[in-house]
Amino acid sequence: MSSRVCQSCGCTDIDVDQARGNAVCMSCGSVLEDNIIVSEVQFVENSGGGSSAVGQFVSADGPAKAPVLGSGFHTSLGKESRAQTLQNGKRQIHNLGSQLQLNQHCLDTAFNFLKMVVSKHLTRGRKMAHVIAACLYLVCRTEGTPHMLLDLSDLLQVNVYILGKTFLLLARELCINAPAVDPCLYIPRFAHMLEFGEKTHEVSMTALRLLQRMKRDWMHTGRRPSGLCGAALLVAARMHEFRRTVKEVISVVKVCEATLRKRLTEFEDTPTSQLTIDEFMRVDLEQECDPPSYTAGQKKLKMQQLEQELAQKLDEYQGEISVYKDEIENELENSRTKLRGIYAAYAKQDLHEEFPVDTELTGSEGAEDEEVEVAAQHLTQDFVSHLVSRDTQADEETEQSESKEQLQHPEKKQVPLKSILGPLPTVASLGLSESIKECITEQEETDDKSDNGELDLEGIDEEEIEKYILNEKEVLAKTELWMVQNAEYLREQKEKEERIAKEKEMGTYKEKPRKPSKRREPIRANTAGEAIEKMLEQKKISSKINYDVLRDLNSKGSDASSPSPAEDVPVSSGRKRLTRRKKQPNKSNLGLAKPASLMGKRLRPLISSSPKKKSTSTQAVPVVTPLTLCEPPLPTPLPLVESGPVSYAEPAEEEEDEEEEPEEPCVSAIQLIGGDEYGCDAEEEEAF
């Protein structure tokens, strides 16, 4: 290969070490070149453990598109920033996507979604991170990958609901109907994380069956799918004799303990839970269950119905008891001696009063307490009867008869106390509620409807409103309290005022810090080309462009000059991020006005045709073609081309020579480009 001549000794034997990046003269040992730019492919390790090549794929569309002059130019103006946005977005997608272990196809789809989103201006006012996460989640949903929104929010440390909001909005705007989340999708992922070893597949199948059953039992509507998965996996693990505690399952599935337990109890309530393991695997129960929340509501209704029934039954029993009481009483009366006058009067009353008293008491206190209540009543009756009998010094016969007959004893002596005590609390309790109800209804009735107008004072209770306003003493007390409570805030306010006063004195006071608004002079130009030129200069779209060269270009070429800066500008900016080596040929590209611009068009189909081929080919191709043209036209545009780019072209060429041999498609591509239009083609072939 043609090598350089050593400057110090004139020797042509130069050793180029790729690994070190040195070019050293073999005779005198002087280092001719250091940090040689290599065109080898470098690999970098991913977070997932795989390795990916360093470099970027240049897409077919985007900055490399030929912009239309005139009306279409506005789109290419915004495209600079648009291209940046998309590139930035793509980078972030790859970052996040690799953390989630999504394959390339998913990432590409996500990037497509992002492009749609950006074109619909939905990124405005939203954090880019949220939008990207939403795009990724859209892809996960449409592809059916086992990724939850929770995973994304964990990675980004953002609230799930905020992400969910963005996701819903994007899905709606892009008219993408994501299929509903199926909990079955998550089972393999969680099963793997729970480490069942060889039996993972079996446990997964069992869990899937359980899930199907849960679905039919209406446990999954309105629930987070991860919770159901957790419950199914826990049961499946137990069925296969793996001891997985609730805590382990929770850490994998990301729900809280209470949720998991609730799901388990709900499943317990279904008839399927009664089957044994073998039966479950073989048999499928036909019937379906209601959703658990519905059954809970039904339970309440049932409880109320039960209570009503019990109350009815109580009444019946009470009726029976009172009948017995009557009979016994009659017999007693007949057999007993007549009592003294005071209690005889009461005796007549009690028969009528007892019934409402008892039913009220028992009805209000509920079925369960009824028996206790009745027993208590009778106990008190007995006790009181003893006391009363002692006081009145009744006959021993009556005492004995009383003590013998335990229950169902309407004792007249006891009853007066009961009748006095009994109705009192009930009447009071009932009366209170009624009076409260009356109060409320009164208040509501005083509220009238009013017409339009300033302030209609009808129906406004002045007194009540007076109550809302504190009197002076209260005001003072409250002022003190409030001052103490809000001392900090008041202090801050004072400081702020002092600061503003100072600034006013000094004359540097600003109402609010305002951003300095950029005012640009309107461009005045004669032709469209001039206007574009000036705009480009002003806006300074890219820092890599040598504007002086641009201007010279414009002066040299009339028609070709205007598209060339436009084309080269996006081309160069698009390639900004490529390796340094590529920039050099770009600069030399600029040095070739016409052929370069026309070349540019041809270059693009080249690049587009091999987007996913090895990066070597993409790197080599754009290098090869401009370089081949570099050589012949060099002598002609000497004043334009700087010596800088030219010198670098040579070593690049050397390396590219090495690469050329194995990569024959490059050569054929050149032939594609070369064709008949350029006279330098003949010279190209000669060079190789």
- Cβ count near 491 (within 10 Å): 10
Residues 6+ apart with CB under 8 A from 269: 289, 292, 295
Q: How far is the CB of 461 from another protein (least distance, A)?
A: 7
One-letter amino acid of 496: K
Gap between the Cα atoms of 162 and 457, Å rounded: 46
Q: Which of the ranges 176-184, 307-315, 537-545, 618-626 carries the binding residues for another protein, by CB under 8 A?
A: 176-184
Asked if residue 482 binds another protein (CB under 8 A), the reply is: yes
Asked if residue 441 binds another protein (CB under 8 A), the reply is: no
Are residues 611 and 59 in contact, defined by beta-carbon separation less than 8 angstroms?
Answer: yes
Gap between the Cα atoms of 128 and 85, Å rounded: 9
| Residue with Cβ nearer another protein (294 or 383) | 294
The 295-324 contact track toward another protein, x by CB under 8 A, reads --x---------------------------
Q: How far is the CB of 649 from another protein (least distance, A)?
A: 57
Crossing angle of helices 341-365 and 367-392, in 10° steps, is 160
Where residue 678 falls (left for φ over 0; alpha for ψ -120 to 50; beta otherwise) is: beta
Gap between the Cα atoms of 625 and 603, Å rounded: 8
| Residue with Cβ nearer another protein (67 or 227) | 227
| Residue with Cβ nearer another protein (391 or 448) | 448
Asked if residue 394 binds another protein (CB under 8 A), the reply is: no
One-letter amino acid of 307: E
Beta strands 43-45 and 31-33, pairing class: unpaired
Which is nearest to 235 in space by CA: 253, 255, 259, 208?
Answer: 208
Asked if residue 293 binds another protein (CB under 8 A), the reply is: yes
Given 55, 164, 188, 605, the residue binding another protein (CB under 8 A): 164
Asked if residue 459 binds another protein (CB under 8 A), the reply is: yes
Q: Which of the ranges 262-270, 378-386, 417-425, 456-464 carries the binding residues for another protein, by CB under 8 A?
A: 456-464
Q: How far is the CB of 133 from another protein (least distance, A)?
A: 14
Q: How far is the CB of 143 from another protein (least distance, A)?
A: 17
Given 274, 441, 450, 558, the residue binding another protein (CB under 8 A): 450
Asked if residue 177 binds another protein (CB under 8 A), the reply is: yes
- Cβ count near 365 (within 10 Å): 12
Q: What are phi and psi of 437, to 5 degrees?
A: -60, -40
Within 13 A of 516's CA, how many CA atoms are on the CB side?
3
Given 1, 19, 44, 175, the residue binding another protein (CB under 8 A): 175
Asked if residue 469 binds another protein (CB under 8 A), the reply is: yes
Given 224, 412, 581, 582, the residue binding another protein (CB under 8 A): 224
| Residue with Cβ nearer another protein (28 or 475) | 475
Are residues 311 and 384 in contact, defined by beta-carbon separation less than 8 angstroms?
Answer: no
Residue 564 Cα to chain centre, angstroms = 46
Tokens standing for 282?
């073989």
Beta strands 43-45 and 51-53, pairing class: antiparallel
Given 454, 521, 548, 661, the residue binding another protein (CB under 8 A): 454
Gap between the Cα atoms of 667 and 674, Å rounded: 10
Gap between the Cα atoms of 661 and 649, Å rounded: 19
Given 301, 457, 484, 506, the residue binding another protein (CB under 8 A): 457
Q: Which of the ranges 103-111, 213-221, 387-395, 549-557 carries the binding residues for another protein, by CB under 8 A?
A: 213-221
Q: How far is the CB of 491 from another protein (least distance, A)?
A: 12
Are residues 206 and 249 in contact, defined by beta-carbon separation less than 8 angstroms?
Answer: no
Are residues 209 and 200 in contact, defined by beta-carbon separation less than 8 angstroms?
Answer: no
Given 103, 221, 305, 558, the residue binding another protein (CB under 8 A): 221
Burial 165-174 (b: 16+ CB within 10 A, else e): ebbeebbeee
| Residue with Cβ nearer another protein (49 or 222) | 222
Asked if residue 148 binds another protein (CB under 8 A), the reply is: yes
Q: Which of the ranges 221-229, 323-331, 400-408, 673-681 carries the binding residues for another protein, by CB under 8 A?
A: 221-229
Asked if residue 150 binds another protein (CB under 8 A), the reply is: yes
Q: What are phi and psi of 466, to 5 degrees?
A: -60, -35
Gap between the Cα atoms of 56 and 87, Å rounded: 10
Given 443, 636, 647, 668, the residue binding another protein (CB under 8 A): 443
Q: How far is the CB of 483 from another protein (least distance, A)?
A: 10
Secondary structure (DSSP) of 587-598: HHHHHSHHHHHH
Given 218, 267, 280, 678, the residue binding another protein (CB under 8 A): 218
Q: How far is the CB of 161 from another protein (least distance, A)?
A: 6
Site for another protein in 509-568 (CB under 8 A): none
- Cβ count near 248 (within 10 Å): 15
Residues 6+ apart with CB under 8 A from 360: 426
Asked if residue 291 binds another protein (CB under 8 A), the reply is: yes
Secondary structure element (H or E) that encloses residue 16, with its range: strand 14-17
Q: Which of the ranges 164-172, 359-367, 575-583, 647-655 carries the binding residues for another protein, by CB under 8 A?
A: 164-172
Tokens standing for 45?
């390790």
| Residue with Cβ nearer another protein (340 or 449) | 449
| Residue with Cβ nearer another protein (487 or 500) | 487
Q: Which of the ranges 169-177, 501-509, 529-537, 636-644 carries the binding residues for another protein, by CB under 8 A?
A: 169-177
Asked if residue 436 binds another protein (CB under 8 A), the reply is: no
Are residues 627 and 680 in contact, defined by beta-carbon separation less than 8 angstroms?
Answer: no
Q: How far is the CB of 285 from another protein (least distance, A)?
A: 15
The 108-147 contact track toward another protein, x by CB under 8 A, reads ----------------------------------------
Gap between the Cα atoms of 24 and 45, Å rounded: 32
Residue with tokens 């899905």: 171
Asked if residue 486 binds another protein (CB under 8 A), the reply is: yes
The 28-67 contact track toward another protein, x by CB under 8 A, reads ----------------------------------------
Which is nearest to 377 in space by CA: 347, 419, 346?
Answer: 419
Q: Which of the ranges 26-34, 425-433, 470-478, 675-683 carries the binding residues for another protein, by CB under 8 A?
A: 470-478
Gap between the Cα atoms of 328 and 405, Å rounded: 9
Given 45, 489, 526, 543, the residue binding another protein (CB under 8 A): 489
| Residue with Cβ nearer another protein (160 or 339) | 160
Asked if residue 161 binds another protein (CB under 8 A), the reply is: yes
Asked if residue 451 binds another protein (CB under 8 A), the reply is: no
| Residue with Cβ nearer another protein (449 or 540) | 449
Asked if residue 225 binds another protein (CB under 8 A), the reply is: yes
Residues 6+ apart with CB under 8 A from 451: none
Residues 6+ apart with CB under 8 A from 589: 568, 571, 596, 599, 600, 626
Residues that bind another protein (CB under 8 A): 148-150, 160-161, 164, 168, 171-172, 175, 177, 180-181, 218, 220-226, 288, 290-291, 293-294, 297, 443, 447-450, 453-457, 459-462, 464-470, 475, 478-479, 482, 486, 489
